[in-house]
Amino acid sequence: MPRPPAPKPARPAPNPSPPQGRARWPEARHYAALDLGTNNCRLLIARPQGSGFTVVDAFSRIVRLGEGLASSGRLSDAAIERTIAALRICADKLKRRHVALSRAVATEACRQAANGPEFIQRVYRETGIVLDIITAEEEARLAVLGCHALLEPGDGPALVFDIGGGSTELVLVDSAGEHPRILDWHSAPWGVVSLTEARGITGDHDPKLRAAGYARMRESVAEAFAPFIARLPAVSGTPRLLGTSGTVTTLASVHLGLPSYDRSAVDGLIMPAASMRAVSQRIAGLDMKGRSAIPCIGAERADLVVAGCAILETIMDIWPAERLGIADRGIREGILRRLMGSRAQ
């Protein structure tokens, strides 16, 4: 079986020949970042603008790559087919946008799966995309790099978190300087997919069983967070909390009563932690039908959102901030900032 070339931090994207009569493409180069998680496949294509960038194309699809992984230890055939179908769309966008430099990363599902390397090879053969399986530490660093600009000003360290499909990253940062400095980080093996599959609620129509299942989820998350909790310093100043994930953006949408998701209303929102806790508890108390009926949750997210609520509530327990920042940005934006920061001047 042919092997793809060794993944690199950044690689030139395939470029067709420039149009006739031109020596090269215009200076406005496009850069791309692809984040393949346990639940989602997300692509962002952007061009530099000032000290940041302007998005020119994006793609996001729930692929559930890690579905069944907790019990089998492998990526299932159905999950692989769904994911490759999404990656073909991404590959087409990369070609059509003449991307100059790109990076594609895979996270927890590919780190854990016995057939992860085989999957990476197949992706390369069928789409031309080289996926780089990154460590949990790099995942945390990229998430912070992508969203730290939304941290509220303040003294003392802040906690940034990313609730994924297969894991949750907690990062303690010092934001006093121009760039955030990571003081400590922790990766817990519970995300919305892994926690749902391992500790999912049984007896969905029985309120008592739902409550017991939710408590069980919270206990498992608290146990996984315990080593990090033991290392946390005494909180100085005003605790600050910033979350980047589908969980926090979905729950923020519910809090705002949005009829459909609106990134402009959610990204950068600062909301009372008590309100987010109330939303989490309300959703966790509903059965599947009730959750599916809520705009911005729907049937697609109804089975996983309760696990997200359990993880989020546990995070708010360990870092008692009065306000919670919401970021609809993270790993992809972190990758783009690295790529653009390394471009030739």
Write the pLDDT tens digit of every residue in 59-98. 999 999 999 998 899 999 999 999 999 999 999 999 999 9
Question: Could you give the 3-state DSSP secondary structure of residue 95?
Answer: helix
The four Cα atoms 173, 151, 108, 196 give a dihedral, to 10 degrees, of 120
The predicted model scores a pTM of 0.86
Contact between residue 128 and residue 301 where contact means Cβ atoms under 8 Å apart? no
User: Do strands 240-244 and 181-188 pair parallel, antiparallel, or not at all (unpaired)?
Assistant: unpaired
pLDDT in tens, 184-241: 999 999 999 999 998 876 667 889 999 999 999 999 999 999 999 999 988 777 899 9
Q: What is the pLDDT of residue 50?
A: 83
Per-residue pLDDT at 203: 66
pLDDT in tens, 250-274: 999 999 999 999 999 999 999 999 9
